[in-house]
Every structure is written in structure tokens, then in C-alpha cells.
Structure 1
Amino acid sequence: MKPRRFIRRFIFLIFGLALFLFVLVQAWFYVQVWQLRTHNPQTTAFMRERLELIRAVNPKAKLDYHWVDYAAIASIAKRAVVASEDDRFMDHHGFDWTGIQDAFEKNLAEGEFAAGGSTISQQLARNLFLSPNKNLWRKGEEAIITVMLETTLGKRRILELYLNVVRQSRATKTHPRRRRAYELFAHTAPIKRPKGITLK
């Protein structure tokens, strides 16, 4: 066999194998997303990673995670979270292009990565399956999973999942609107009703 032909076949084989593995990984993610239609997640990628970090200091640490059904969450809490995290949540299909543009312009003006422009669906995809590390692969996979979530689950289910699996990690943030929204979710503090968001 001629060297050039061998090299071409080798490259084709590597490319085919990489494509097969890529499709296999996406199929696995899709099965996991499909199961979320009727099953609540027991843990998330973020929860597991943070638990490992905590166990490095306290080996006996356990995950304190309690699911709350959508109907049991106060409507005003849902509105508050949407208002603080993704006020165009009900209008977009997973990606808020206006928000992305605003974040890009802000980052450009400040000369650093100060804003991400991620929607609730994108944050959910990242928390459920990926790591906090910022790189092109993760952003690409996050986009693919976001499309899966939006096409497989309804907005109500996406928000229910977000409130349960993302809110707990966000509660420790110092952003006042996020902290206030979390307090609302936990039924510990009142807040004025945000306008223009129709959720039940």
C-alpha cells in the first residue's frame, strides 16, 4: 500500500471514530434529557463536583438536597427568579441573543469576562451535565444540551428543574437579586411582584 493512501485511510479512520464517539456522547446526553420528562435528577454534575471538594476537607460530608414540586413553589418566587436570571425566558428558545450581545459589549468595554449572557436553559444544561470550567468544548456541549432541553421539555419543566438543581448552588452567591429570589423560594422573605412575567 502506498504511503499516501495509507495516510488518507488512517485520517479517515480517525475522523470516523471521532464522529462515532461524538454521536454516541450526544445520544447519551439525549437519553438523560428524555428521562427528565418524568424523572427528577438525584444529583447533578455541579453537585457531585462540589461534594468532592467538600469531602477533601470533611470526608463525612453528605449532599443535602430536597426536591420541591413545581406546584409547591410560590408563583411570585418563580417570577422573581426569572426576573433576576432570564427575563426573556418565556420568549426565547434557549438562547437570548439580545442578552448575549449585551454581555459581549459589556465584556468588551470592561476588558474582561464580566458577564456571560447565559439563559436559564443554558445554566440548567451546564449544572446538570457539565463542569464549571470555561472552555470552547464546554460551551459547545452546553449549546447542544440546551437545544435538547428546549425541544424535549416544556418551559414549565425547565424552570422546575432549574429552581431545584441550580438555586441551591446560587444561594451562596452575593448578588442581592439572586439571594432575594432564593429566600423567596425558601418561603422566608417577601418581595414585590415583578411585572411582565406570566408564570403559574
Structure 2
Amino acid sequence: MQRCVLGGAESALRAFRSAAKTSARTVRYDAFADRHIGPSRLEKQQMLDFLGFTTLDELTNTNVPNQIKLDREMNLPQAADEYSMLRELKKISELNKVYRSYIGMGYYDTIVPAVILRNITQNIGWISQYTPYQAEISQGRLESLLNFQTMVLLDPFLHPQNVDVAKTRSDPIGVELGTLNFDSGSIDKDVAAVVIQYPDTEGRIRNLEQLIAKAHEQGVSVY
């Protein structure tokens, strides 16, 4: 038979009296549980008194079916403070062997200075739906690009994942994508922008000076 206890005036009185008997919470600021996981020992006792139980085990045994209980103690080490944990993790990380990566295709480890990370990479302006201030200039430029220049040429050696992103972003707004011809270097006036991979997806470093100069002569943006 399941036990059901409803709190009332008597239970509330017991909880109030227990508050005077239970010591206040002592917080260990170097312990994750004390800072982030409640309630305190005092709050636990007040809740138990209100429900009519004396211990958490009694509360658990009353409400949790025996068939889903673990019939043995868990083999867990003592909890560690955060300083000890970080020190242990540092020791483990020192076992790693860092090798030079040759995976290519834009996947490589980088160290981004905090000032660049905060002001450029995490700049809210990159994900805002609004164009910059001086709205007349910005909107006029966007309209001219949309109405008169709707072709974007992609480097044939652009990283595949970048090509997929360009396709995803261009299809809904009707921007046509083309492949840049490095041999001829010709760029039509209908082209709005050229996207170049440097170094390319195969790791080659090409001389792009003339190509970029031709693009700028046509008023084409180069990325």
C-alpha cells in the first residue's frame, strides 16, 4: 500500500520548528554542487518535515517501486572540488600527442586571439537581419546588386562545404552561381562577386594578382 501524506498546518509548523534546529547552509565555493545544485541541507529537512518523512531514503522507499531500485551500493569515488578536477584533467590532457594536421579542405586547428574572436567572429552584426546604418546607401547597394548583378562566380577549387553553403544561401533569393574560369580570367559585367579559395582545397597557392585586378576593374567584389 502506497503512503500518501498531505501537507497541512501541522506539517508546516513542524517544518518551521525544524528550521531553528537545522544549521544554516555552508557553501564551499570551490565545489560545483554547492554553487549550482540545490537545495541546501536546511531546505531538504524543511521539505521532508512538510511531507511527513524523516530522511530522503524513507521518501525514496515509499515512492519508488522495488523492481527499479538498485540492490547494491554504487561504486563511485568521493566527490572532488573543481581545482582538483581541473588539475586531474590537465594531467590527462598532457598525455595527448599533437601532430601536424594534413586533413586539408579548410579543416585545421587555429588559435584565434580573444579580441578578434569577440569583435569579429562573435560580432552580432554578422547574424543580424539589418544592414548597417546609412540605410539609403546600404539598401541602394543591395538593390543594385539584386537587380543588375545576380551572378556569383565560385572558385572551382573552393572547399566543398563552402560550395554547399553558397548554394543554400543563393537559391532562395535567385542568385545564380557559376564557376570561375582561371584560364581565361574573363569576368562579365553581370557578375556581382567572385569567391576565391586561398590556399585552394588541394593546398595549392596560386598567383591571383591579375585575376583580382580584372575583377576590380569590372567593379566586382572579390572574397
Same fold (TM over 0.5): no
Normalised by the length of structure 2, the TM-score is 0.24
Which structure is richer in relative contact order (CA contacts within 8 A, separation 6 or more)? 1
Q: Structure 1 or 2: larger strand share?
A: 2
Normalised by the length of structure 1, the TM-score is 0.27
Q: Which has the larger radius of gyration?
A: 2
